Amino acid sequence: MDLLKRVACIPSLESLCIDGALTSTVSDTPFRLPLQHIRNLTLKECEIGDIFLRSIVKSFGSLKSLRIQLPSLMVHLNIYCNLQALLESLASNSGTLEQLQVYMAKGSCEPNITPAEVFDLRSFTHLKALEINTGFLFTPTPDSEPSFTALLPTSLDDIYLRMADKRFAKHLQVLTEEYRSFPNLKTLDIGIEDMPSIHAMDQAEVDWKMALNHCARELRDGGIECNVPVEGTHFNLSCGND
């Protein structure tokens, strides 16, 4: 909190990156600070609670870039994140935000993440780049009917889907049908933690690999740069590493 209060006193500061633990800032009480002069905010692996995170976001009223890399040890740190509440906190930035990253590396964190009922970003009409865990954007239930056009603004240039897995094969098929609804789309990048060797895949993983290849082929034929993982490879963050 002391750090943010000092930042509030520097009206010429436009970019702020907080990297690492901020245990002294954990708070159960909402707050609001005069931080509207900040245009670019990055929070990397910060040990801050859900209420504090939402209070920070609400304090910035005209962000152009917001990058949030959630800590991968949330369970051990007893940290929670409500994605629906976070999305609602971002509403005041919907007219200015151009780049959004909400990412968490694979870990035992799912019990500490409350998914959004609908991660609807369509009101963010200036958004050009989105990097997000696929499971944050979609709930991978067998009876779900995914739609990218029902969630994402058509202004997007670049989409980076992270931590995808075989549960999202149907989503890729939908994307091959809907991508033309995004007239500015230049890049689709699909990242997973790793892709096993073809010899180690079960049938669902083989189907997933085929869905990846089909999606890449369809989008490339449409003039979109589409990057998908190959066997034995890892991905690097494309929208969030400075």
Reading the block at residue 26, the tokens are 């954990």
Q: Can you say how many angstroms the Cα of residue 64 is from the centroid of all Cα atoms in its chain? A: 15
Residue 28, domain extent: 2-227
Task: Return the amino acid letter for 226.
Answer: C
Q: In 163-174, which positions are buried (b, 16+ CB within 10 angstroms) versus exposed (e)?
A: bbbbbbbebbeb
Residue 71 covered by a domain: yes
Per-residue pLDDT at 24: 47
Is position 161 within any domain? Answer: yes
> What pLDDT, on a 0 to 100 scale, did the predictor assign at position 165?
85
What's the CA gap between 242 and 237, in Å, rounded? 10
The answer to whether position 171 is within a domain reads: yes
* pLDDT tens for each residue of 16-52: 888 876 554 455 677 778 888 899 999 888 877 788 8
The pLDDT tens digits of the residues spanning 163-174 come to 888 888 889 999
Task: Answer yes or no: is 195 within a domain.
Answer: yes
Backbone angles phi, psi at 15, to 5 degrees: -125, 140
- Over residues 181-185, the mean pLDDT reads 97
Its pTM stands at 0.86
144 falls within a domain: yes
| Structure confidence at residue 186 as a pLDDT band (50, 70, 90) | very high
Is 133 part of a structural domain of the chain? yes
Q: How far apart are the first and last CA of the chain?
A: 24
Mean pLDDT calculated for residue range 63-83: 79
The whole-number pLDDT of residue 232 equals 42
More confident residue, 65 or 32: 65
More confident residue, 6 or 24: 6
Please write the tens of the pLDDT for every residue from 112-167: 778 788 899 999 999 999 999 998 998 776 677 789 999 999 999 999 999 888 88
Report which of 188, 183, 182, 181 is spatially closest to residue 217, judged by C-alpha positions.
188
| Count of domains observed in the chain | 1
Residues with Cβ within 8 Å of residue 68, at least 6 apart in sequence = 43, 53, 101, 102, 103
Stretch 187-209: mean pLDDT, rounded?
Answer: 76
More confident residue, 6 or 181: 181
